[in-house]
Amino acid sequence: MNSNVQRTIDAVWRMESARLIAGLARMVRDVGLAEELAQDALVVALEQWPATGVPDNPGAWLMATAKRRAIDHLRRRKMLDRKHEELGRERDAEEMAVPDLDEQLDDDIGDDLLRLIFTACHPVLSTEARAALTLRLLGGLTTDEIARAFLVAEPTIAQRIVRAKRTLAEEKVPIEVPRGPELAERISSVLEVIYLIFNEGYTATAGDDWMRPTLCEEALRLGRVLAELEQEEPEVHALVALMEIQASRTRARVGPGGEPVLLLEQNRALWDQLLIRRGLAALARSEQSGRPRGPYGFQAAIAACHARARSAHETDWHRIASLYAELAQVNPSPVVELNRAVAVSMADGPAAGLEIVDRLSDEPLLKNYHLLPSVRGDFLHKLGRLAEARDEFERAATMTRNERERALLMARAAGCAGT
């Protein structure tokens, strides 16, 4: 197969698979079957596009192909009379472009992707299964990528996904956005999933690219829709604020050659001020509730500290360290503690940060987490312990699956060599 066509198909699948699966799930009322039909359509594309060329509207082509497969499946199950009519009435509509976000906000059940997220986050599933399934169906992530996002073994994630799809089918869970009290009950899990999708786009777990902007954009879109659905929930607005502010740095996070540019080295003139203003407005909306901050409220407040600083030097690191300490009280996590260590090092010096990091060395959840040796290497480098720093950077490089990040870490290790 022509390599350009292969890359195009891969890119199309990354962009369209979530919408494809979500639309099919609404039609066939089975998320497992919807994913199978979407994969079947991809196989047909792999067979035909190298010869015929990529169609002008590849998403519509995949949907039309998948719908034909769905009709065949329903015919085999002797459900043609009712289901074929339903699918037929939608045939022309599915070829149209996806409606704009503003139009979707007027209809709380009009967005297939949001509907699928709430289905995947149904209480019949465990919290872990809900997040893993949604990342698989809507984020288009592999089981390996999801496993690394959760810091657990890949077979564990694979089992969760298989069991989750089976459970949804057996329990005949409706493909819908819940209403009333049930909606509020599922908000927390949905927020977790949306942010995990955003994070995978913000710093890709694996592959050749530092970022996957499409995933960030999709998570932001879903977050904004959810904020309109649940206007009185401060954590929803806090999550939107956090994503808006983080997304504002997108242009500054990647160099001319695609290499990562870390926060302290970024050209802040490239930060998107519109997204920052939107994020700060969402944070203010969250804080207007008068309710105590939740995990996303604290993270959004931390992001706001960075956004308000005109330079890295002017960042209020003591405030950030304090916010991380409060976050650790409401959401204890070794990852939160690692982030607090970075803030403490900026506020009080690398030795203070190293002291915190060294207490995390035996944390089971951080055993394969490349940012632990990466952060430790940074502290050691600043303290002049260059040989130790080099070892830590090299260890971190062996643990990451992202090629851009690996190159950055190896460059930092090389900068410590011979001294």
Q: Domain residue spans in the chain?
A: 190-199+211-314
Say which residue the tokens 């851009």 belong to. 404
* Cα–Cα distance measured from residue 86 to residue 70, given in angstroms and rounded to the nearest whole number: 12
- Higher-scoring residue by pLDDT: 382, 16: 382
Q: Is the pTM of this model over 0.85?
A: no
pLDDT greater at residue 80 or residue 413: 413
- What pLDDT is recorded for position 392? 98
On the question of pLDDT at 278 being above 50, the answer is yes
Would you say residue 99 has pLDDT above 70? Answer: no
What is the mean predicted confidence (pLDDT) over 13-39?
85
User: What are the tokens at 331?
Assistant: 């959401």
Looking at the predicted structure, is the pLDDT value of residue 110 above 80? no
Percent of the chain with pLDDT over 90: 50
Report the alpha-carbon angle 214-217-219, nearest 5: 110
CB-facing half-sphere around the CA of 48: CA atoms within 13 A: 12
Residue 103 confidence (pLDDT): 40
Beta strand ranges found along 91-204 (DSSP E): none
Q: What is the pLDDT of residues 171-187, one digit of tens each?
A: 988 888 887 777 777 88
Give the Cα separation of 238 and 299 in Å (integer). Answer: 8
Tens of pLDDT, residue by residue over 375-411, are 999 999 999 999 999 999 999 999 998 999 999 999 9
H/E element holding 48?
helix 31-52
| Residue 26 near residue 52, CB atoms below 8 Å | no
Q: How many helices (H) and strands (E) does the chain have?
A: 20, 2
Averaged confidence pLDDT in the chain: 86
Cα(134)–Cα(191) distance, integer angstroms: 11
The per-residue pLDDT for 92 is 46
DSSP state of 271: S
260 phi and psi angles, rounded to 5 deg: -70, 145
Whether residue 222 is predicted with pLDDT greater than 90 in this model: the reply is no
Could you tell me the pLDDT band of residue 209, with boundaries at 50, 70 and 90?
confident
CA 132/CA 290 separation, integer angstroms: 33
Amino acid of residue 342 = V
pLDDT tens track for 50-66:
888 888 888 889 988 98
Gap between the Cα atoms of 189 and 120, Å rounded: 10
